[in-house]
Amino acid sequence: MQIVSSVAAIQRRARQWRRAGTRVALVPTMGFLHDGHLSLVERARRAVGQAGVVVLSIYVNPTQFGPAEDLARYPRDLPRDTRLCRTAGVDLLFTPADAEIYPGRKEDRYSTYVVEEALSTGMEGAARPTHFRGVATVVAKLFNLVQPEVAVFGQKDFQQAAVIQRMTTDLNFPIKIVVAPTRRERDGLALSSRNQYLDPDQRAQAPILFHALEATKLAVSRKTVSAARLQSDLRAFLTVAPLAKLDYVEFFDPDTLQPAKQVKRGTQMALAVFFGQTRLIDNARL
């Protein structure tokens, strides 16, 4: 496995792969890897085959964090991540510094960002107003640097994947976006780097997100229910986990992300819940 950290080095590699006709798949991450990330590597390998190249990037992107969010304490362990990447069969690990991705940003000499204006406004976009601007910008940069044919993202961040897919289409990136299923713990909790923030009591109650999804699936399995009623029912349902503080629960069309007033099978559901300062998200197709 090769490890590069400079823009010049990854661009040089991308030109070599293109000249050789090598298929390239990209897995963008912020590191502190877990089995969910490694499942994305598996999907990337299947997409390009053994003769192709799988690139995994590790970069904690500052522009997708708000002023009061956890940028400084976001978990980082590059030596551990490097070992996991070797074992998983990653061909190239890209680990840039801020100065490589955002040259001149600290001196206010960086001013170009990518903004998606339709799918990014609700849910995570409403709760974290600058989040998707940062996500779209850094992913567009990675696409330009790596020039992959395939890029793989996780379904746990459903809205993020939708925003990236729209950006890819709107900006004519010749890249196939693959969205891989959410990986979960045995008790249903979606794998996330932020799970390590949870104390034992919070961790014991965190599967309430998964149980809320499953309860809602059951509620709409044979009938249509108003979104307002389901939101009220879910607020009551979450009281069985007293450490859980609901941020939002939304029901929407999975393609347009427009809110649904009536919820039925096929509607998408997403929710965000705080456990102390730790914010977890999850979603499901009902």
- Per-residue pLDDT 10s for the chain (286 aa) are 999 999 999 999 999 999 999 999 999 999 999 999 999 999 999 999 999 999 999 999 999 999 989 999 999 999 999 999 999 999 999 999 999 999 988 888 899 999 999 999 999 999 999 999 999 999 999 999 999 999 999 999 999 999 999 999 999 999 999 999 999 999 999 999 999 999 999 999 999 999 999 999 999 999 999 999 999 999 999 999 999 999 999 999 999 999 999 999 999 999 999 999 999 999 999 9
Burial, 90: exposed, middle or buried (Cβ in 10 Å; 0-12, 13-18, 19+)?
buried
> Of 120, 86, 273, which Cα lies nearest the Cα of 195?
273
- Say if CB 190 and CB 155 are below 8 A apart: no
Q: Which two tokens stand for residue 86?
A: 């070797």
Rounded CA separation 204/182 (Å)? 20
Which residue type is seen at 190? A
Output the pLDDT for position 2. 97
* Global pTM exceeds 0.85: yes
Output the pLDDT for position 106. 83
Residue numbers annotated as active site: 37
DSSP E strand stretches across the chain: 2-4, 24-29, 53-58, 92-94, 150-154, 176-180, 225-226, 244-252, 262-263, 268-275, 278-285
Rounded CA separation 237/189 (Å)? 17
Output the pLDDT for position 161. 98
* Whole-number Cα distances in Å, 11 to 7, 15, 80, 252: 6, 6, 26, 39
Work out the angle at residue 147's Cα, subtended by the Cα atoms of residues 146 and 149, and round it to the nearest 5 degrees. 120
Rounded CA separation 114/206 (Å)? 34
Say if strands 92-94 and 2-4 run parallel, antiparallel, or are unpaired.
parallel
Domains of the chain: 2-180 (3.40.50.620), 193-285 (3.30.1300.10)
DSSP 8-state assignment for residue 62: G
- Say if CB 234 and CB 272 are below 8 A apart: no
